[in-house]
Amino acid sequence: GELAAASGELESRNAIAASIKAQTEAYILDKAAALGADVSVRFTLDDQDLPRTVTLTGSCTPAQKQALARVLAEDLGIPEERQIWQ
């Protein structure tokens, strides 16, 4: 019984993490598109399933990068030192 409960808890946590990733990615891509930036997004979650680091790949102007970096920091709590731009 305990094993089944632990397995169910792990599945639930993984589903929640996947949902958070999908929603956060969609949010970032929407903000990037609104700024006219063409980027793809990858990020990691911390142990509380909150965005930890983000990697953005693509092309954007310095102004778009600055605006998007501000959105990531202010809206999602990902400071610039945990933002990786490629």
**pLDDT, tens digit (0-9, with 9 covering 90-100), for 44-74:** 888 887 888 999 999 899 999 999 999 999 9
Tens digit of each residue's pLDDT (9 = 90 or more) over 29-42: 999 999 999 999 99
Instruction: To the nearest 10°, report the CA torsion of 30, 31, 33, 34.
Output: 120
**Of all helices (H) and strands (E), which one includes residue 83?**
strand 83-85
Please give the average per-residue pLDDT across 2-26, as a whole number.
82
State the pLDDT at residue 32.
Answer: 95
Residue 2 in this model has a pLDDT that exceeds 80: no
Share of the chain above pLDDT 70, in %: 97
Phi-psi region of 40 (alpha: psi -120 to 50; beta: other; left: phi over 0): beta
pTM: 0.80
What gap in Å lies between CA 41 and CA 24, rounded to an integer? 10
